[in-house]
């Protein structure tokens, strides 16, 4: 049944992820945005990693100890720009892992959002992880707002950074707020008009440690010139130069991922932060319809929706499963993005993959470690479903006519280690922990008869995933483990016909993944290439993201 309420609520939702290379300031920006929305009174980051408090979105001990995000965190809050009429916007902000070892978690998050904020370090420019994540956004059609962060520190020339973005990734930045003062001397922002002219000067005043909202003063261009002199003149000239080169905002080009609104900021000092929020509200797309999985449609035995629009019956997709977020409650949270319709706590829904009924009695919004019960949610919202043990990343739940959305992409692991409990007396807890963390996708678990269940193989994109696996087993299940490397670096998917033949090859071992897929591990890429050349009929498929 069509829901006008769901459509109206969807129109005021803005659901986005923050993506960047490690240490670009993602978690600091997340808190700064929450501070400007007045849902926290003081930011949790201070100057320098040594004195850094843990941000509210970092809940895992390893995150607090190392000052990096290694698990995505979903925050929701209302925000109303100045002079905004009507109801405030509902912001669903997903802070993603920064470390490259956790890119699989980040990729899953990008299936659950409608836009992305790409954070770039003013001194370092585009970095490898930023480039990789940009390509994923581009492939998924996610519009990108670019933020040059850390402008309060010594860095590169602004025009040089713009040129690098154009050259390296073919994305044209369109300045909305241009910096007044060079990197390291951040005085304020020049607001850029539709034709590239500087309309207004926003001057910022520092606060102690950047822990509170930075006061702003507004000046006309003439007043700005009198106040800032050459710094304002340079900013105006650079903005006009870019405008003359065609770097002007066009909504259609932005939504097609051809251009990117550009803002300069310092998340640490809270400079330019509410300008980022205002831009997201004004330009980022609201939730839209989502197409069903073509493979599911092809094998459907009964009627199935080909697409779900925001106003249609309720549907949602699980993009992450996480346990251990609350030590007082040994529960599991399945993070679901509402795709269509109205979600009401307690409603009975259907799990598309199994066809079973599923109860939603315990539903939460999550802010770091803080939880609150959610009674209703709408397209674009992120909801945590408690003790949803039957749900896995990529699963669909729905009400009314059946729909099933595309599965989550799998990734090619490059690191492999066996895992075993230090104490044989902990085997039962070991098995339970392994089952839970495997279902979350912390690592992929591979098994075969030769190694047995007591020492399965962990397969990961990056080695830090093994550290997370072991740390969580110890903290959450009181199981100390030993991880030993094994001599493999390449994985390929195979089939039942090829597997026995491969098993007879030197330097190859066959495993079964938890989802039933047969996985062949090879010592190195040269061994794989030799076997492929000698046996062209073997089934060996790459394990890469769709």
Residue ranges at the known binding site: 95-99
- Which two three-digit tokens encode residue 286? 């609201």
Give, as one character, the DSSP assignment of residue 429.
H
Give, as one character, the DSSP assignment of residue 324.
-
> How do beta strands 490-494 and 508-513 pair?
unpaired
Closest CA to 66 of 442, 467, 474: 467
Contact (CB, 8 A) for 509 and 475: no
Q: CB neighbours (10 Å) of residue 2?
A: 10
Q: How far apart are CA 120 and CA 63, in angstroms?
A: 21
Closest CA to 263 of 202, 184, 195, 185: 202
- Which two three-digit tokens encode residue 86? 């009507």
Q: How far apart are CA 141 and CA 166, in angstroms?
A: 18
Three-state secondary-structure class, residue 164: helix
Q: How far apart are CA 302 and CA 405, in angstroms?
A: 16
Q: Is 510 exposed, middle or buried (0-12, 13-18, 19+ CB in 10 A)?
A: buried
List Cβ neighbours of 462 (8 Å cut-off, separation of 6 or more): 99, 100, 101, 102, 103, 414, 415
Q: How far apart are CA 349 and CA 399, in angstroms?
A: 5
Region of 44 (left: φ > 0; alpha: ψ -120 to 50; beta: rest) is alpha
Range list of β-strands (E), 45-130: 73-79, 89-95, 115-121
- Which two three-digit tokens encode residue 509? 């071992």
List Cβ neighbours of 409 (8 Å cut-off, separation of 6 or more): 107, 111, 544, 545, 546
DSSP-derived secondary structure for 246-272: T----HHHHHTTSEEEEEE-BTTTTBS
Contact (CB, 8 A) for 17 and 96: yes
Show binding-site residues for GTP.
95-99
Contact (CB, 8 A) for 174 and 260: yes
Three-state secondary-structure class, residue 57: coil
């Amino acid at each position: 049944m069509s829901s006008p309420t769901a459509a109206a609520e969807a129109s005021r939702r803005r659901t986005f992820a923050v993506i960047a290379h490690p240490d670009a300031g993602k978690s600091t920006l997340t808190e700064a945005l929450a501070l400007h929305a007045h849902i926290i009174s003081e930011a949790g980051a201070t100057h320098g990693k040594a004195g850094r408090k843990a941000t509210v979105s970092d809940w895992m001990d390893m995150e607090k100890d190392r000052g990096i995000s290694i698990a995505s965190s979903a925050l929701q809050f209302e925000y109303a720009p100045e002079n905004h009429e009507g109801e405030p916007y509902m912001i669903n902000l997903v802070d993603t892992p920064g470390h490259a070892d956790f890119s699989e978690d980040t990729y899953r998050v990008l299936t659950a959002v409608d836009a992305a904020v790409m954070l770039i370090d003013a001194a370092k420019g585009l970095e490898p992880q930023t480039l990789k994540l940009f390509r994923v956004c581009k492939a998924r059609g996610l519009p990108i707002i670019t933020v040059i962060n850390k402008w309060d520190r010594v860095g590169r020339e602004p025009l040089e950074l713009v040129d690098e973005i154009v050259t390296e990734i073919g994305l044209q930045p369109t300045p909305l707020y241009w910096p007044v003062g060079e990197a390291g001397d951040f005085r304020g922002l020049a607001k850029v008009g539709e034709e590239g002219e500087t309309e207004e000067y926003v001057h910022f005043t520092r606060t102690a440690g950047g822990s509170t909202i930075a006061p702003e003063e507004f000046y006309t261009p003439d007043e700005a010139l009198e106040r800032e002199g050459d710094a304002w003149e340079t900013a105006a000239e650079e903005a006009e130069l870019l405008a003359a080169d065609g770097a002007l905002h066009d909504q259609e080009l932005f939504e097609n991922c051809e251009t990117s609104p550009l803002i300069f900021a310092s998340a640490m000092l809270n400079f330019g932060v509410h300008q980022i929020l205002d831009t997201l509200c004004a330009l980022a797309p609201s939730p839209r319809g989502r197409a069903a999985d073509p493979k599911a449609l092809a094998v459907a035995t009964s009627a199935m929706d080909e697409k779900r629009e925001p106003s249609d019956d309720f549907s949602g997709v699980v993009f992450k499963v996480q346990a251990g977020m609350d030590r007082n409650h040994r529960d599991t949270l399945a993070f679901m993005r509402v795709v269509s319709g109205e979600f009401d706590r307690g409603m009975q829904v259907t799990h598309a993959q199994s066809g079973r009924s599923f109860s939603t009695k315990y539903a939460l919004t999550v802010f770091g470690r803080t939880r609150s019960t959610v009674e209703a949610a709408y397209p674009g919202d992120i909801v945590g479903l408690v003790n949803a043990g039957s749900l896995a990343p990529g699963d669909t739940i729905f009400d009314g006519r059946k729909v099933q959305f595309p599965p989550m992409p799998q990734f090619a692991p490059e690191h492999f280690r066996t895992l075993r409990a230090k104490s044989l007396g902990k085997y039962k807890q070991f098995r339970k922990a392994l089952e839970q963390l495997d279902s979350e996708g912390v690592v992929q678990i591979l098994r075969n008869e030769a190694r047995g269940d007591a020492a399965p193989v962990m397969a990961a994109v990056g080695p830090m995933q093994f550290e997370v696996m072991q740390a969580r087993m110890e903290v959450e299940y009181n199981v100390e483990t030993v991880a030993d490397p094994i001599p493999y670096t390449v994985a390929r998917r195979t089939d039942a016909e090829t597997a026995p033949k491969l098993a007879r090859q030197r330097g190859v071992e066959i495993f079964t993944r938890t989802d039933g897929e047969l996985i062949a591990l090879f010592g190195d890429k040269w061994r794989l290439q030799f076997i492929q050349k000698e046996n062209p009929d073997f089934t060996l498929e790459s394990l890469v993201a769709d």
